[in-house]
Structure formats: C-alpha cells, structure tokens
Amino acid sequence: AQSVAQPEDQVNVAEGNPLTVKCTYSVSGNPYLFWYVQYPNRGLQFLLKYITGDNLVKGSYGFEAEFNKSQTSFHLKKPSALVSDSALYFCAVLTNAGKSTFGDGTTLTVKP
Amino acid sequence: NAGVTQTPKFRILKIGQSMTLQCTQDMNHNYMYWYRQDPGMGLKLIYYSVGAGITDKGEVPNGYNVSRSTTEDFPLRLELAAPSQTSVYFCASSYTPNSPLHFGNGTRLTVT
C-alpha cells in the first residue's frame, strides 16, 4: 500500500530563517508527489508537485521541494520564512486512478 | 471563475437525520472527489468520480452515497447521520488523474 508520513506535527521557525517541512513516502513504482497548504477555515491549495525530472521542484510563494529517491523523501523548503507562511502543510502521494493519499499534516508557525 | 463551490459552510444535524452536501465546479474537470478531514489527521477519501455517471468508493465510504449526473455537480449524501460523521468535508476536482487537486472551502458538519 502506498503511504505518506510527515514525522513532525509542528515546526517552529523565526521569520527570515530557512524552513523545512519533512515528508517521506512509500510507493510501488515512480511516485507522483504533491505539497498543499491549508489556511484556517479554507480548503487546501496546491503548492508544487514532482512527477519526473529535476529533483529540486519550485512552486508557489517561494517554496521548493527536494525529491530524494534513495531516502524516499520529498521535503518542503523555503530559504527565508515569512509570518504569513504560518499554516498547515500536507504532503500527498498520487495512487491509482488519481486518488491521493495525504499525510497527517504539519503545522508551521513562523514567529516575528 | 468560482472554482469549486461547496454548500452549506456549516451544518448541525441530529443523530438519524439525513442531508446532502453540495459541490459544484466550473472548470470542466472530469475528476471529482470527496474527502473528510478529522482533527490532527490527513484527508481521507470517501468517494470519487472519473466522469458523469461514474462513481466509486474511496477509503471510508460507509454511511455515505454520491451521484454524478453532470460534469459540474457531485453531491454527497448522508442518510442516517451518526456522531462519527462529525468532520469537515472537502470536495475537490482535477483536470486529469495526475493534475493537482482544486479544493472547495469545506463544509463543517456536527452530528449530535
């Protein structure tokens, strides 16, 4: 069965510092991986995806993610965090028929 | 361009009541999905549809039903509400099975 794990429930960083939100996956075959962000009382919004190609994927709002096949990881990164980046972040892996399996989410808090 | 629209935003049901959560999208997406989100957990797939007239069960379909008579609409029906169905429900759509999901803003349902 395909699965996604986000090992940290909470990540705290200071504004201006780099941030990393971790994600590991387990799939058979080549993975299709996504990151989404959820602000309070809103639906999830797409940030970026990895299908194939370059291991460093750039997405919305200055976020990027690094795909590492040997470590089965797809960590979300940003060089300089903003207070407005504070939100709930979900990693997801695409399974058959377009169904996505989501991690349990990581709450990112950026403090001024 | 409204995207994915869900109604109602909030609803309180008594045990045993029934209701329909509405979802409509104006992006001409064939693929549509219903997820539920429980606190501290990721999204769980309830039902999905790959086109008008075609629906299939997801990970947690018990207690729910769906229909897809048009490309735009994908309502979710709860027949006999139970406290275990207290959750936030999200409808999503995508252009292809590998495309990012577009989410509505959710329906917060409480069953007491």
List, for residues B34-80, the tens digit of each pLDDT value: 999 998 888 999 999 999 999 999 999 999 999 999 999 999 999 99
Gap between the Cα atoms of A108 and B19, Å rounded: 35
Query: Six-digit token pair at A33?
Result: 């991986």
List, for residues A60-112, the tens digit of each pLDDT value: 999 999 999 999 999 999 999 999 999 999 999 997 767 899 999 999 999 99
Could you say which of A34, A94, A97 has the minimum Cβ distance to residue B50?
A: A97
A43 to B31: CB separation less than 8 angstroms, yes or no: no
Residue B1 has pLDDT above 80, yes or no: no
Query: Six-digit token pair at B5?
Result: 């629209």
State the number of CA atoms in the 13 A half-sphere of A12 facing the CB: 2
pLDDT at B101: 95
Q: Chain A residues within 8 A (CB-CB) of chain B? A: 4, 9, 32, 34, 36, 41-46, 49, 51, 90, 94, 97-105
Q: Taking residues A3-11, what's their average pLDDT?
A: 96
Suggest the residue from A9, A35, A36, A99 to mutate for an interface test with chain B (most B CBs closer than 10 A). Answer: A99
Query: Six-digit token pair at A82?
Result: 């903003």
- Residue B20 distance to chain A (closest CA, Å): 19
pLDDT at A95: 79
pLDDT at A97: 65
Q: How many residues does chain A have?
A: 112
Suggest the residue from B5, B24, B33, B37 to mutate for an interface test with chain A (most A CBs closer than 10 A). Answer: B37
Handedness of CA A60, A46, A41, B40 (dihedral sign): negative
List, for residues B77-97, the tens digit of each pLDDT value: 999 999 999 999 999 999 998
List, for residues A20-35, the tens digit of each pLDDT value: 999 999 988 888 999 9
Nearest-by-CA chain A residue for B90: A43
pLDDT at B42: 86
Could you say which of A4, A46, A99 has the minimum Cβ distance to residue B45?
A: A99
B42 to A104: CB separation less than 8 angstroms, yes or no: yes
- DSSP three-state, residue A97: helix
Helix ranges, B1-112 (H): none
Q: Which residue has the higher pLDDT, A15 or A100?
A: A15
Nearest-by-CA chain B residue for A34: B100
Q: What percent of chain B has pLDDT over 70?
A: 99
Query: Six-digit token pair at A48?
Result: 């970026």
Could you say which of A41, A42, A51 has the minimum Cβ distance to residue B98?
A: A51
pLDDT at A2: 85
- DSSP three-state, residue A95: coil
Gap between the Cα atoms of B16 and B32, Å rounded: 27
